[in-house]
Chain A
Amino acid sequence: MRRARTLAFLAAVMLLAACTQAADTTTAPTTDTGPATTADTGTPTTADTGGATTTTAGTEPSGGGLLGEVQSRGSLLCGVNETVPGFGFLNADGTRSGFDIDYCRAVAAAVLGDPEAVEYVPLDAQQRFTALASGEIDVLIRNTTFTATRDGGEGATFLTTTFYDGQGMLVFTDSGITALEDLANTAICVLSGTTTELNLATRFADIPYTPLTFEDNGVLQPAFVSGQCDGWTSDKSQLAGVRSAFPADQGGPEALTILEETFSKEPLGPAVRDGDSQWAQVVDWVVNATILAEELGITSDNVDTFADTDNAEIRRLLGLEIESDDGTAVFDAGLGLEPGWAANVIASVGNYGEIFDRNVGPDTPLGLVRGVNDLWLNGGLLYSPPFR
């Protein structure tokens, strides 16, 4: 009798709970719209300092999207790496440098007018998509490979590729290993939660090996150096960074060799959260602007010298006034950015070629050549849609 009554009560409670569903759909409680501020690095985040040509203080937040949110916050939350020399690296003096870092600065320059208005959020490979989906960061620029499942299933939208990479294998020069097949029956070190891990399994499907998966390069490198694993696989650009920074007392860069074979496609680029196309377009066009600037010959040094140029595309890109029958006007692509944003970007970080050369080019310790990361005019893969 008593049990029956309890059951009846429970049933009533469940019915009540079910009824509230309809009411809840309209006022669905949202967990977060304001991103949590996490480990920042002490970077000054004042939006109105620096040599910006336009002021953003009076900028109307454009709509309710992330663009408006970033502008009213006054800083960009950028998810980055801090262990890969040349791409995203935390220097001994506390500053950050690298190819990806420069793109964070470029986005901040475009959106806020100040390349320094970035709060860097260091992430490891496994945290990155959760951090992006949960709103902890605005944009993920952390040598992240563009794949279908990541684009489709992780709540992320991938944008224009900034670096076309491929996977390689790092071995000790004196190990006698010259091809991937020589690594049979050995252990291979790899970062967990990466596409490299998946490619390794695919490429070594018929070669017996033991994968040793580590969370970050800080533990992986000692394991590799001590000979626990005979090979270290990652994107070739990352391996070049590791090789360039290999300590001299352990033999220096010459002690290491990156094997010839490239066994995957790793297009690296920025990613944003699904569902905000305006913000995605902004980040996309920042990348395109750096490529276009190189194509048009605009550099950080000469960006101020185009005031009198006749080239209409340069005038449109840099936000210079354009003569028309009804007087002069400034071209606005409708991205929700101040005119002249691209000039800010180029003045702050330079064009694609400058970013490449500064961080990973032939004159840096990494010494990478442009290869496929060259303009389409030079036989590479970089091709920006027209700016009109």
Chain B
Amino acid sequence: MIPNARVPFWRNQRVLRGVAQVVVAAAVLFLLYVLWFNVTNNMRARGVRTDFNFLDQPFGVRIAGSDLSPSAPVRSALLNGIRNTFALAIVGLPLLTILGVIVGVGRLSTNWLVAKISSAYVEILRNLPPLLVVIFAFQAVILRLPPARNPITPFGWFVISNLEFHVPGFRAGDNYRPFMMVMLVAVLLGAFLWWWRTRVHERTGTPHHRWLWSLGTVALVGAIAYLILDRPLTITLPHLEGRVVDGGYRGLGAFFAVVGALAFYTSSHVAEIVRGSILAVPKGQSEAASALALSGFQRLRFVVLPQAMRIALPPIINQYLNYVKNTSLAIAVGFAEVTLVAFQAIGNGQPAPQVVVLLMGSYLVFSLVISFLVNLYNRHLRIVTR
């Protein structure tokens, strides 16, 4: 064998691998191309539009809970739907996490009643189809509230009907913008103090009092700014004037039905993950904590839960994604999230394939953003090896 002879290219592993990859890539591209060609060709043959120009056409109808006029383009309506889906996510995800952790810990409680209630909660909710839970929350809970023409006003602070919930809110005064700037600076300052106190604590062991330092600073700065700027924010209570409710913040009843139903439903799955993760933490950890005379709560808070969350987080991401995807069930109770708006657009003459592609794309973005964010946190939680 001649040591320096070149391997012929048809036996060169690098070349062969490269060729194989190109062949596979070409096959995939070809398949996609055939699919695309097929779809557009058949759509054209049936006289259906294939372009995306419809996004500029007027949507034609109003959307509940938004000021969009019927002449606003389809684009704005879809964005409005995406915003409503986002609202469902931003309210529901923290809620289901908290519920899930509480119930998950509750299932392991030594208190018989707490453990049984938690088990019942999990077993009932996770064995129901989510659509059923949503429709139940809407028809059996929300619709049972007083009708829109005759709402109740508990304490004069709320106006509640089965159409809308109104709660006290803030109204911007004259110096609203400068006040918000000052508050932003105060929050940044508070964050810095938090970091500084943590560092001092780690270096010297003196108590950090992080909450006191940072919250105290924000509160103090806020109070001074509030007085100097002559009430930049005022609280408004919702009040009835005939059929119009003025002031405060509002939310559609269907929104709360969807958030409540899906948060309860998904939290039952999260609870099981939390329970399993706690059981996965070696028993010795808990025993060691007891040996150090930590109380039951301290054992959970400082020893067991931090280790359990590290195990629980990846499967919990799946539940977050499920939650976001399940928000499309809001269509059943008429809350205008992105699926409902998209189907509305299709029903009103916009081309279905394009709208559905946009719809899939928006869910894809939602899911990818959520997994990205939670993965960042997951990395933060990882055991730091020194």
Interface residue ranges, A against B (CB under 8 Å): 5, 9-10, 13-14, 16-17, 20-21, 24, 28-31, 125-126, 129-130, 133, 147, 149-150, 152-155, 175, 184-187, 192-194, 197-198, 200-202, 205, 209-215, 219-220, 222-223, 226-230, 273-275
Contacts and interface: CB of A to CB of B under 8 A. Distances in A.
Nearest to A214: B334
B340 A192 contact: yes
B344 A226 contact: no
Contacts of B38: 28-31
Given A153-B349, A187-B163, A192-B344, A197 B331 contact: no
- Most chain A C-beta atoms within 10 Å of own C-beta, residue among B47, B135, B144, B351: B47
14 contacts: A14-B29, A16-B30, A28-B37, A155-B46, A187-B64, A193-B347, A194-B347, A197-B348, A201-B61, A205-B70, A210-B64, A219-B333, A227-B150, A275-B47
Contacts of B344: 126, 192-193, 197, 213
B193 interface: no
Interface string B204-238: 00000000000000000000000000000000000
B149 A29 contact: no
A192 B347 contact: yes
A175 B37 CA distance: 56
Nearest to B33: A17
Contacts of B147: 226-228
A184 B148 CA distance: 13
B45 A275 contact: yes
Q: Which 6 A-B pairs have the closest CB atoms?
A: A193-B347, A227-B147, A201-B70, A226-B143, A185-B243, A126-B347
Contacts of A126: 343-344, 346-347
Given A31-B38, A126-B343, A133 B162 contact: no
Interface of B: 18, 22, 25-26, 29-30, 33-34, 37-39, 41-42, 45-49, 60-65, 70, 135, 138-139, 143-144, 146-150, 161-163, 242-244, 253-254, 331-334, 336, 340, 343-344, 346-349, 351-352
Nearest to B244: A185
B280 to A, nearest CB: 43
Contacts of A20: 30, 33
B349 A227 contact: no
Contacts of A229: 148, 163
Contacts of B242: 185
Contacts of A214: 333-334
Contacts of B42: 30-31
A229 B161 CA distance: 11
Contact of A213 (B26, B135, B146, B334): B334
Considering residues A28, A126, A197, which has the most beta carbons from chain B within 10 angstroms of its beta carbon? A126
* Residue in A5, A10, A29, A212 whose Cβ sees the most chain B Cβ within 10 Å: A212
Contact of B61 (A29, A184, A200): A200
Given A187-B148, A210-B65, A228-B147, A274 B47 contact: yes
Contact of A29 (B34, B346, B349): B34
Contacts of B45: 275
B239 to A, nearest CB: 14
Given A210-B163, A212-B334, A222-B143, A227 B149 contact: yes
Contacts of A21: 37
A196 to B, nearest CB: 10
Contact of B348 (A187, A198, A212, A215): A198
Contact of A198 (B60, B63, B162): B60
A133 B48 contact: yes
Contacts of B343: 126, 192-193
B37 A24 contact: yes
A198 B77 CA distance: 14
A154 B345 CA distance: 12
Contacts of A187: 64, 148, 163
Given A185-B244, A212-B64, A274-B47, A193 B332 contact: no
Given A154-B349, A201-B61, A227-B162, 19 more contacts: A17-B26, A126-B344, A133-B46, A133-B48, A185-B242, A187-B163, A192-B347, A197-B61, A198-B70, A205-B70, A209-B62, A211-B63, A213-B334, A215-B331, A219-B139, A223-B334, A227-B146, A228-B253, A275-B45
Contacts of A226: 143-144, 147, 162
Contacts of A210: 62, 64-65, 163
Nearest to A200: B61
B198 to A, nearest CB: 45
Nearest to B143: A226
A194 B60 CA distance: 11
Centre residue among A10, A20, A154 by max chain B CB count within 10 A: A154
